[in-house]
Amino acid sequence: MFAFRDFLTFSTGGLVVLSGGGVAIAQTTPPQIATPEPFIGQTPQAPLPPLAAPSVESLDTAAFLPSLGGLSQPTTLAALPLPSPELNLSPTAHLGTIQAPSPLLAQVDTTATPSPTTAIDVTLPTAETNQTIPLVQPLPPDRVINEDLNQLLEPIDNPAVTVPQEATAVTTDNVVDLTLEETIRLALERNETLQEARLNYDRSEELVREAIAAEYPNLSNQVDITRTDSANGELQARRLGGDNNATTAINGRLEVSYDIYTGGRRSAQIEAAQTQLQIAELDIERLTEETRLAAAVNYYNLQSADAQVVIEQSSVFDATQSLRDATLLEQAGLGTKFDVLRAEVELASAQQRLTRAEATQRTARRQLAQLLSLEPTIDPRTADEINLAGRWEISLEETIVLALQNRQELRQQLLQREVDGYQERIALAAVRPLVSVFANYDVLEVFDDSLGPADGLTVGARMRWNFFDGGAAAARANQEQVDQAIAENRFANQRNQIRLAVETAYYDFEASEQNITTAAAAVTLAEESLRLARLRFNAGVGTQTDVISAQTGLNTARGNYLQAVTDYNRAFAQLKREVGLGDAVIAPAAP
| Nearest residue to 561 via CA among 527, 523, 528, 524 | 523
What is the arithmetic mean of pLDDT over 486-502?
Answer: 95
Name the average pLDDT for the chain: 77
- b/e per residue, 138-170, with b = 16+ CB within 10 A? eeeeeeeeeeeeeeeeeeeeeeeeeeeeeeeee
- Give the pLDDT confidence score for residue 586 in this predicted structure: 63
pLDDT band at 334 (very low <50, low <70, confident <90, very high): confident
pLDDT band at 139 (very low <50, low <70, confident <90, very high): confident
Most confident of the following: 4-8, 96-100, 451-455, 501-505: 501-505
pLDDT tens digit string along 369-408? 999 999 888 999 999 988 898 899 899 999 999 999 999 9
What is the arithmetic mean of pLDDT over 532-544?
Answer: 83
User: How far apart, in Å, are the Cα atoms of 415 and each of 202, 271, 286, 421?
Assistant: 18, 11, 15, 10
* Cβ–Cβ < 8 Å for 558, 548: no
User: Does domain 297-414+484-585 bear CATH number 1.20.1600.10?
Assistant: yes
Domain map (residue ranges) of the chain: 1-41+60-65, 297-414+484-585
pLDDT tens digit string along 247-301? 788 889 999 999 999 989 999 999 999 999 999 999 999 999 999 999 999 999 9
Cα–Cα distance measured from residue 272 to residue 280, given in angstroms and rounded to the nearest whole number: 12
* Cβ–Cβ < 8 Å for 425, 262: no
3-state secondary structure (DSSP) of residue 166: coil
Tally of CB atoms within 10 A around 328: 22
* Cβ–Cβ < 8 Å for 246, 229: yes
pLDDT band at 97 (very low <50, low <70, confident <90, very high): very low
pLDDT band at 136 (very low <50, low <70, confident <90, very high): confident
Which residues lie across from 68 on neighbouring strands? Answer: none
Helix 180-190 with 265-331: angle, nearest 10 deg: 140
Cα–Cα distance measured from residue 320 to residue 347, given in angstroms and rounded to the nearest whole number: 6
pLDDT tens digit string along 167-205? 888 888 889 999 999 999 999 999 999 999 999 999 999
3-state secondary structure (DSSP) of residue 250: strand
Task: Tell me, yes or no, if the pTM score tops 0.75.
Answer: no
Segment among 57-66, 116-125, 473-482 with least mean pLDDT = 57-66
Of 7 and 443, the one with more pLDDT: 443
Cα–Cα distance measured from residue 188 to residue 576, given in angstroms and rounded to the nearest whole number: 16
Most confident of the following: 125-129, 142-146, 424-428, 445-449: 424-428
- Give the pLDDT confidence score for residue 130 in this predicted structure: 63
Of 469 and 116, the one with more pLDDT: 469
Residue type, 191: N
pLDDT band at 427 (very low <50, low <70, confident <90, very high): very high
Which residues lie across from 251 on neighbouring strands? Answer: 224, 444
pLDDT band at 302 (very low <50, low <70, confident <90, very high): very high
Cα–Cα distance measured from residue 543 to residue 530, given in angstroms and rounded to the nearest whole number: 12
pLDDT tens digit string along 39-72? 333 344 344 333 333 333 333 333 322 222 332 3
Which are the contacts of 57, defined by CB distance < 8 A and separation ≥ 6? 24
Residue type, 2: F
- Give the pLDDT confidence score for residue 61 in this predicted structure: 30
Cα–Cα distance measured from residue 105 to residue 120, given in angstroms and rounded to the nearest whole number: 9
pLDDT band at 474 (very low <50, low <70, confident <90, very high): very high
pLDDT band at 109 (very low <50, low <70, confident <90, very high): very low
Of 486 and 105, the one with more pLDDT: 486
3-state secondary structure (DSSP) of residue 589: coil
Which residues lie across from 18 on neighbouring strands? Answer: 9, 25
Cα–Cα distance measured from residue 553 to residue 519, given in angstroms and rounded to the nearest whole number: 12
3-state secondary structure (DSSP) of residue 133: coil
What is the arithmetic mean of pLDDT over 308-332?
Answer: 88
**Percent with pLDDT over 90 in the chain:** 42
What is the arithmetic mean of pLDDT over 451-475?
Answer: 89
pLDDT band at 547 (very low <50, low <70, confident <90, very high): confident
